[in-house]
A and B are shown apart, each in its own frame.
Chain A
Amino acid sequence: MKSTRMAKTASAVILAGVLAACVSAVSSAATGSTKVVTISVASLIPGSTPAAKAQFDSQVKEFEKVNPSIKVTPVEYQWLGSTFAAKLAAGTLPTVFEVPFTDARTLGDNGQLADLTANVKKLPYFAKYNPAVIAEGTTSKGKIVALPKGAYAQALHYNRKLFAAAGLDPNKPPTTWAQLRSYAKQITDKTGKAGYAEMAKGDNTGGWILTTLVYSLGGRMESGTGAKAKATLDNPQTLAGLNLLKQMRWTDNSMGANFDYGWSDINQAFAAGNVGMYINGSDVYTNLVSASNIDPSIYGIAPIPLAKNAKNAGVLGGGTLVAVRPDANAASRAAAVKWIDFFYERPLVDKAQAVRNAQTLVAGKQPVGVPALPVFNKAQYDLANSWIKPYINVPQSQMKPFNTGIFKQKLIPEPAVSTQSVYHALDPVVQAVLTDKNANITQLLQDANSSAQAAISQGK
C-alpha cells in the first residue's frame, strides 16, 4: 500500500517536471530569436539635474530603438579613488563603467576588466585612435580592456563675476603663478571670497592637483618606468609649489576657510560663486552645468600658468576610459561595446551621430562644445567640432583663453607607475601645509616620498 502511494507521488513529480521542461522549451523556442540582453551602464554622477537625467534617458531610448535586443539600465556613477575598489570587490559596478587613464592598464593586467579585444577591433574607426590614448586601455599582454571616453588637460577655471568685482579684467586670466597669487589676494580682499581654492581631500585629489602645480613648474613625481621607477616627490619644484600654497594660505589668507574639498565639493563651491579660481580638468564644465547649475555668465577657463624659465614645464593631461565588468558574458560584452560605440565613440567620428548627439544634448539643456583634447587626432577633433558648431551652447568666447592657449602647451601624462598611490602619499602633505602654519614641508615630502616608493616597489 505504502509503496503504491510512493510510486504515485514519484510519478506525479516526474510528470510535473516533464511538463515544466516542455513549457520552458516552447517558451524558449518562441523567444529564442529575440533574446534580450540587459546591461547596466554608468550614467550621470549622483545629484545630477532632472534635465540631465531626462537627456540621458532619451539617449538610452534611442539606443534601444536601434538595438531592440539590448536593454540598457542606467546607473548613477562617479569614479572616486576612495570607493572604486570597494565597488569592484563587491561586484556592484555597472556592466559598463568609467575609469581614469591611470588605472585601466593595471586593472586589466590583474584580470579585473573584461577583455574587449575581439569586439573593439571590429569597430570601423579602430585604426584611427591616437596610439598613445588606446595604449592607456591596453594591458601588458596586448589585450584591449577599455576605450577612451575623452581626454582632458588640467585648466584654471575662474569666476568672471568675482574677477570684475575685484577690479580684474575677466578676459585676462593670470598667465604666471605670481600673477595668480596676486589676483587671488585681490579677489579675497575685495569680495571676501576665496581667491584661489584647491582640492585637498584624502581621496587622492590633493596629490593630483599638487602634481599639476609641480608639472607647471617643471618638476616630475617619478623617474624611470615599471618596477624600477623611482619616486621623486621631494623634488625642488614640489617644495616651491608647496611654499607658494603656504604663502597664499598663511601670508595672503586668500584660500578661504575650507581645505577639505573633494572633486564634487569644489565644483559646487565654484558654481555657487564662493571660489575665484581653482584647478580641475578642462571638461569639468559639463559637471558644473549638470550637477551644480552654474550660471554660464560667471564661467571662465584658462590654461594653467607654466613657469617660463623651466624647460620641462607642462600641463598635466589625463582622461577617462570606458571598461566592462570582467564577469560579463560574451553577449553582455558585445552589447556593452555596442553601447560604448553608440554613446561614447560615434559622436567623435560620425557626423550623423555627432549631430544627433548634439541635438539631444541641446534639447536636454546640456552643454555642447566643452573644451577637451583629441582622442583620435587634432584634425579629427576639429572636424567633429565643425559638425556640431550650430549646436554649441557653451559660452565659447569665455573659453577662448583656454582654447587658444592649450595647444601651445606641452602635455604631460600623469605619473605612470602607482599613480593613485603617489597622489595618496601627497594628500596629507597638502593638507598639512593648508592646516598647519608651521608644517615642516621638507620632512613631510621625505615621508611622502618613502611612502610612494614603497607603493611603487610593491606594485600598488
Chain B
Amino acid sequence: MAERDPKPVRYRARRTPVTWVRGGGLAALIFLLPMLFVFGAFSWYPIVRTAIMALQHTNLVQPATWVGLDNFRTVLHDPLLPTAVKNTAVFAGLALVFGYPIPLVAAVLMSEVRRLRGVFSALAYLPVVIPPVVAVLLWKTFYNGDATGVFNTILGWIHLGPYPWLQSQGTALPSLVLESTWANAGGTVIIYLAALTGVNSELYEAASVDGASIWRKVWHITLPQLRGVLLLTMILQIIGTAQVFLEPYLFTSGGPANATVTVLLMIYNYAFGNSLGGDYGSATALSLMLAAFLAIFSLAYLRATRSWSTR
C-alpha cells in the first residue's frame, strides 16, 4: 500500500489592509467606483425604489403611506388588465411571425449580393436612425383612413379600399406591428449580416459541389450556423415587444376602444394618465409583475434552448 502523500502545506501571506492596497485592491476599487456610482444611481436605486413604491400609496408630493399588497390587488382586479395582456401577446406574436423572419431573409439575400451590399445595408438600417416620433407621424399619414391616405391611395389604384387602418378595432394592432417591423428590422439585419460573415464559405462551396440548391444551403448551413444568434435575437425581440409602448402611445393612445392598450401603456396610464396625479403604486406594481414574468420567461427560454444553441 502506497503511502499517501501528505497534504501540501500552503503558505498564505496574512491579508492586511496594507497587502490589499499593495496588491492593487485600492486601485481596482477606485477604478470601479464611477461604474458602481452610475449603476447604483441609475439602475439599482430605481429598481429598489420601484419595489418600495409598489407597496406604497404616493403622489410624489405628500408623504407616502404603506399599503401592503393593495396595489397588486388593484392591478389584478383591473378589468383592463386581461385586454392589455391579450393585446401585448398578440402584438408580440404577430411581430414574431412577421417581424422575426423578415430581417433574416433580408440579411441572407443581402449576403448573396456581391455589389452594393453597403448601400442595401444602409437602406435597411435607415428606418432605425429616423427618430421614432417622426416615423410614427410619417406612418400616420400613410394610415390616414380616408381615400387620400397614402396606403389607401395606392390600394385605390387596384380598386381596393379605402381601409380604416388605425380606425378599426380589427386592423389597428396589426397596423402597429407593420410599422414596428419596418422601424426595427434594420438593427437585426445588421446583426445577421455580421453573423453571416462568420459562416465558413467552404461549407457553401462543398454544398455547391454536391449540387445543393440555395434553399438547401440556407436550411442546412446558414440556419444551423446562425442558431446561437437566432435564439438570442428571438428572446430579445420577445422581451422588446412585451414592452411595446411607443407605437400604441403615439399612434392610437390605446384606442380604438382599448384595442391597442398594452401592458406598458397601462403602466404609463396608471402613472401619468390622470391629470390629478398618478397612481404610482399601481404603476410600479404592474412594472414589477411584468419584470418578474419576463425574467422567468427568459430563464425558461434559456434553459429550454441551452442544448440547441451550443450543439
Query: How distant is the Cα of A447 from the Cα of B258 in the complex, in angstroms?
Result: 13
Contact size range, B: 20 to 34
Contact A424 B273 (CB under 8 A): yes
Contacts A106-B276, A460-B274 given; does A431 touch B144 at CB 8 Å: no
| Nearest CB in chain B to that of A436: its residue | B169
State whether A447 and B79 are in contact (beta carbons under 8 Å apart), knowing that A258-B167, A435-B167 are contacts in the complex: yes
Kindly state the separation between the CA atoms of A145 and B256 in the bound complex, as whole angstroms. 36
On chain B, the residues within 8 Å of A204 by CB distance are 275
Q: Is the CB of B277 within 8 A of A110?
A: yes
Task: List residues of chain A with CB within 8 A of the CB of B207.
Answer: none
B258 contacts A428, C-beta separation under 8 Å: yes
Interface hits, A101-155 → B, CB 8 Å:
103, 106-107, 110-112
Closest A residue by C-beta to B145: A257
Q: Say yes or no: is B132 at the interface (Cβ < 8 Å to chain A).
A: no
* B61 beta carbon closer than 8 Å to chain A: yes
Q: Given known contacts A420-B274, A420-B275, A435-B257, is B164 in contact with A111 (CB within 8 Å)?
A: no
How far is B79's CA from A450's CA once the two chains are assembled, in angstroms? 10
Query: Per a CB cutoff under 8 Å, which of B144, B277, B278 touches A107?
Result: B277
- Give the residue name and chain of the B residue nearest to A429 (CB): B257
Tell me whether B59 is interfacial, beta carbon within 8 Å: yes
Q: Which residues of B contact A326 (CB under 8 A)?
A: 61
- Stretch of B95-103, B105-113, B247-255 lying at the A interface: B247-255
Chain A stretch 172-229: residues in CB contact (< 8 A) with chain B: 200-204
What residues on B are CB-neighbors of A84 within 8 Å? Answer: 275
Distance between Cα atoms of A85 and B278 in the complex (Å): 6
B257 touches A111 (CB 8 A): no
Residues of B contacting A257 in the complex (Cβ-Cβ under 8 angstroms): 144-147, 162, 164, 167
* A421 near B274: Cβ-Cβ < 8 Å: yes
Q: A85-B271, A260-B167, A435-B168 are in contact. Are A202 and B252 (CB under 8 A)?
A: yes
Check: A259 CB closer than 8 A to any chain B CB: yes
B272 at the A/B interface (Cβ < 8 Å)?
A: yes
Flag if A110 contacts B59 (CB, 8 Å). yes
B61 and A112 within 8 A (CB): yes
A404 at the interface (CB under 8 A from B): no
**Contacting residues of chain B (268-288) with chain A, CB-CB under 8 angstroms:** 271-280
A82 located at the interface, meaning its Cβ lies under 8 Å from any Cβ of chain B in the complex? yes
- Contact with A82, one of B62, B252, B273 (Cβ below 8 angstroms): B273
The contact of A110 among B62, B256, B273, by CB within 8 Å, is B62
Contact A103 B275 (CB under 8 A): yes
Is there an interface contact between B276 and A420, defined as CB atoms closer than 8 Å? yes
Q: B60 contacts A81, CB within 8 Å?
A: no
Task: Please state if A88 and B277 are interface contacts (CB–CB under 8 Å).
Answer: yes
B185 contacts the other chain (CB 8 A): no
- Is A397 close to B, CB under 8 A? no
CA–CA, A432 and B255, complex, Å: 9
B263 at the interface (CB under 8 A from A): no
B166 at the interface (CB under 8 A from A): yes
Question: Chain B contacts of A427 at CB under 8 A?
Answer: 255
CB-based nearest B residue for A85: B272
Q: Closest CB of chain B to A46's CB: distance in Å? A: 13
Is A451 on the interface with B (CB-CB < 8 A)?
yes
Which B residues touch A99, using CB under 8 A? 275
Chain B contacts of A25 at CB under 8 A?
Answer: none
Contacts of B252 in A (CB 8 A): 202, 260
Contact B271 A201 (CB under 8 A): no
- Are B162 and A431 in contact (CB-based, < 8 A)? no
Chain A residues closer than 8 Å to B62, beta-carbon distance: 110-111
Q: In residues 162-196 of chain B, which contact A (Cβ within 8 Å)?
A: 162, 164, 166-169
B60 surroundings in chain A (CB, below 8 A): 89
Which of chain B's residues have a CB closer than 8 A to the CB of A431? 255-257
Q: Quick one: closest A residue to B279, CB to CB?
A: A460
Closest CB of chain A to B272's CB: distance in Å? 4
B276→A85 contact, CB < 8 A = yes
Q: Is B257 in contact with A428, judged by CB distance below 8 angstroms?
A: yes
Expressed in whole angstroms, the minimum distance between the Cβ of B53 and any Cβ of chain A is: 12
What is the chain B residue whose CB lies nearest that of A439? Answer: B257
Distance of B211 from chain A, by nearest CB (Å): 55
Binary contact readout A416-457 vs B (1 if CB under 8 angstroms, 0 otherwise): 000011001001110110111001000010010011000000
Verify if A364 is at the interface (C-beta below 8 Å from B): no
| Cβ 8 A contact of B272, one of A89, A107, A202, A421 | A89
Interface 0/1 of B129-151, CB less than 8 Å to A: 00000000000000011110000
Closest to B251 in A: A260
Chain A residue, CB-CB nearest to B167: A259
- Does residue A83 face the partner (Cβ distance < 8 Å to B)? yes
Residues in B whose Cβ lies below 8 Å from that of A16: none
Q: Does A236 contact B (CB under 8 A)?
A: no
Q: Kindly state whether residue A256 has any CB partner on chain B within 8 Å.
A: yes
Q: State whether B255 touches A85 (Cβ < 8 A).
A: no
Given contacts A435-B167, A435-B168, contact A258 B275 (CB under 8 A): no
- In chain B between 41 and 67, which residues have their CB closer than 8 angstroms to a CB of chain A? 59-62
Most buried by B among A86, A260, A429: A260
Which one of B147, B166, B272 lies within 8 Å of A86 (CB-CB)? B272
Contact of B276 with A258 in the complex, beta carbons under 8 Å: no
Q: How far is the CA of A85 from the CA of B255 in the complex (A)?
A: 20
B140 to chain A, nearest CB (A): 10
By a CB distance below 8 angstroms, the chain A residues around B274 are 81, 85, 420-421, 424, 460
* B275 & A81 in contact (Cβ 8 Å cutoff): yes
A206 to chain B, nearest CB (A): 8
Which residues of the partner chain B approach A420 to less than 8 Å between Cβ atoms?
Answer: 274-276
Can you list 14 residue pairs at the A/B interface with Cβ under 8 Å? Answer: A83-B272, A85-B274, A86-B271, A89-B278, A99-B275, A107-B276, A110-B62, A111-B62, A112-B59, A112-B277, A200-B256, A434-B167, A435-B167, A436-B257
Contacts beyond the supplied A435-B164, A436-B257: 8 A-B pairs with Cβ under 8 Å: A81-B274, A82-B253, A112-B59, A112-B61, A258-B144, A432-B257, A435-B167, A436-B169
Chain B residues with a Cβ under 8 A of chain A: 59-62, 79, 144-147, 162, 164, 166-169, 252-258, 271-280
